[in-house]
Each structure stands twice: as C-alpha cells, then as structure tokens.
Amino acid sequence: MTVNSASLCFRNKTILAPMVRVGTLPMRLLALDYGADIVYCEELIDLKMLQCKRVVNEVLGTVDFVAPNDRVVFRTCAKEKDSVVFQMGTADAERALTVAQLVENDVAAIDVNMGCPKEYSTKAGMGAALLSDPDKIESILSTLVKGICKPVTCKIRILPSKEETISLAKTIEKTGVAAIAVHGRKKEERPQHPVHCDVIKAISEAVSVPVIANGGSHDFIKEYSDLEAFQQATAASSVMVARAAMWNPSIFRKEGPQPLNNVIQEYIKYAVRYDNHYTNTKYCLCQMLREQLENAQGKKLHAAQSLEEICEIFEMGSFYKETSALLEARKASLETKDQGEDDQLEDVDVITMAVKFDKREYPLQITPKMCLLEWCRKEKHPQPVYETIERPGDRLFRSVVTVAEQKYRSSFWEKSKKLAEQAAAIACLRTLGVPEGKRSEEASPLVNKRKRHDQELLHNGEHREELLAEAALCWVKVA
C-alpha cells in the first residue's frame, strides 16, 4: 500500500525506546511533554492483541484495546496519535498484518521487535530469534509494508560480525521499511557491556534508510547534549533512548533535566488522569527513584496498593480526589446521555424500571432470579427467558426477561451479564408485586422453603458441611 505522504519522519528525531512495563501511556505522554519527537509503546505480543476489541473510552478520552478479561492491553489518545509507534512481538507475517490493521488508524507507525533477547520472546521465535531467520524477517516486513498505509520499522540487535549485520540491514532495507532502529549490542550482551558505536556507524553508512541509534544510556547519555554526541558517534539519523529516559524522562528537555520530584508528580498526574493501573504506575516510579527506594518514601511506595495511596505518598492526595471526582462526573454525564438516547428508542412493549442488583441486600444463596423462577413454577408459567445485549462503546450489559409473554428490564446498564439479568428479574418482581428475597422483606416462600429444607436436614442429624453442599447444589440447579 502507499504510505500517507504526511507520515512520520525518522530523521533528526529524539525517540523514547520501547520498554516493557515502562512504555505505557503516562510515560509516553510525559516524554512528549519534555521534548521527545517520537515515542514507542512497550512490545505487545501479536497473539494477545488478536484477542482484543477496540473500545472508545469516552470517560478518559482514549482508545483502548481490551482483552476478553477486560484488561486494557494498549491504551492511546489523540495527543500522541501522530507520534506513537506501536511495537509488536511476532513471528508470523499474517498475524502481524492482522494486528497492524487493527491498530493502524490510532497510531503513527508500526514496529516489529527483532532485538529482545529475553527467553519469553525468543522461545516463541520472536525478538532476537528472528535475527537468525532473514527469510522470515523479509516475509513479515514485506507483508506489513504492502498491507498497511502507515510506516513500518523494525528494531534489531547487532550480529556476531559487522559484515553479517550490514548484510541483514540491507535485506531489511529492501522490504521498504521507513527506518531501522539498531541496539548496538549483541543478543548475549547486557547494558553493562559497551555499546558498539562502530557497528551502528557502519550500518548508517551502508544503507539509505534512516538508522536510529539505541543503547547509549550506559556510556553516553546523561543529559540532552549527550544525545547529539551519541548521534555523531554512530552517524545515525536519530537517537532512541531507553534507560536514561526511564530514570528521568526529562532527558529529552533541551533546557536540561527537571528535578526528579517534579518529574514524578507530572508522571503521577498522567497516571491518574488516564486510570493507569497502580502496579504499572508503581513499577515506573520505582525505576525513577532507584537509590532512593530504601528511604522512608521509597518503602511506602513499595507497600502502596492503589493509585490513591501512591498519590498520598507524594503529597498529591487532593489531586487524586479532584481528578477522580471529575472522571466520575464525566461518567455519570455520559450515562445520563446514553439513558436519554435509550429512552427515545424505548420499546413500548418492555416494562422498564430504574433498579440495580446489590448482592449485599440478599441472604446467602437467595437472588431475584431464583425468586422469579420459583414464582413462575408456582403460577405454572414457563420459566423466565433472559436476553442480554452488550453495548459496544463501553462493553456494558442490559438484559430483558420475558415472563408470561411480558418483557421487563432495568433502565441501567451493568458491568456483567449476571448483574444485568438480576436487575431485569428485580424489575419484573417489583412490577408483579412479588417478594424478591431481600433481607429487609418478610420471608418469601423461597426463603421459607429453604429454611424448612435446612431444618429437616438438621433434624435428621446431617452435618453442617452436607447442609452447605445441598444448598449449593440446589442453587446451581435453580440458577
């Protein structure tokens, strides 16, 4: 496919490197604020992304790629759309293309990780394992270049010899990629080993495609002026920074780095605004604090179990409360808007009631669905039929229950199918004037039936364990 003429340029850029657990949305946005031109997300595995749904999160103003277990695998926003590169881990051209097509409208470019030396990546044939399979590299990159409209790049490590590395770079260049990022170490080398600037320079001189130099944090990069020194030493088109940016993302600031405490506070603001998971937030903050982790503040951070606790540690408790209140208000406003739209499309044949199910209001193993089923049996009606739909925008659920040819539902959308069905059952029971089994009600026939059954078991000398097992079995059959 033809790459958009306004596509991302990889010459004379400062770039945030892809880093596992670090390159999430708060860090990427902060790097852009401090002057980075391009930001890479952390490596995301193709098989994981293939399970995801694209969801527009109107509360946060983000686009989320959400796994079946509701975990957000990749989150991005308009602010970084023209600067973020999506890096994937893959060993299959067709899978890579499917993932790239899933995300390409929300990112600026697609990158393939061909340099990760970790076992979890190489044992699946991804990362640095690809370096020994140039045919597969050519297949993956060519498929991507031909199949999407955004620029395609890859990130490699150097091979055992300079000549082999140059040969690989030329093979990659022929696929039509927009740039090649080169980590100047072999796959068995680690950060403490010197970066091979001479090999990166040889690659830069051998190919016409932009070469992005990476791996200079240990030997070169301590402040912004060092980025230029590393670029000159490697003759590269651009410089990519990993650990130096992880320690302090204001490394991208031309005027010089900001005090770490200021950087941390700005990072936390993004983490709260974009609902970043507290474990990821804590991990990134630990990388910034480094030697300070053993002081009182660092120990408190280690013990934190929520974003709110993290904010309290850094004296940002009021910011957390204010931002959370704003997000809740935005969510409520959107729900009200959605409700108004739902009301305009309301099915006149469905009786609707504003009710929710709270399991704390019901005795153990008694639910509205059970009470409704028991009532239908007593009245010799067919058993209730539930129809549940999922709203694509936010993945919330609403259920309609049909009883005696009449339909009932709650006006609220719920987080799960089970909650939606219970709410529909409540709407039906309250409309019919039938007890729903709440603790506050006088004992319903179902509760009395359970009590009589339990008393009989006790009277017959059965053990408590058998009583609980019998009750659980009964619950499974009814539900």
Provide the annotated active-site residues. 116
Report d(CA 335, CA 327) in Å as an integer. Answer: 12
Laid out side by side, the sheet with 72-77 consists of 53-57, 62-66, 72-77
Q: E strands of 321-376, at which residues?
A: 350-353
Amino acid at 124: A
CB 102 within 8 A of CB 94: no
Of how many residues is the chain composed? 479
Q: What is the DSSP string of 459-474?
A: HTT--HHHHHHHHHHH
E strand or H helix at 403, and its extent? strand 396-403
- CB-CB neighbours of 308 under 10 Å: 16
Amino acid at 30: L
Look at residues 169, 116, 164, 110 and name the one whose alpha carbon lies nearest to residue 138: 169
Report d(CA 283, CA 22) in Å as an integer. Answer: 8
Instruction: Please state, in angstroms and as integers, the Cα–Cα distance from residue 318 to each residue in 303, 325, 443, following that order.
Output: 20, 11, 46
Q: Tell me which residue has tokens 């009786």.
A: 351
Report d(CA 290, CA 79) in Å as an integer. Answer: 29
What does the DSSP 8-state code read for residue 149?
A: S
Q: Tell me which residue has tokens 């006790």.
A: 458
Q: Are strands 84-89 and 44-45 parallel, antiparallel or unpaired?
A: parallel
Look at residues 313, 475, 331 and name the one whose alpha carbon lies nearest to residue 412: 331
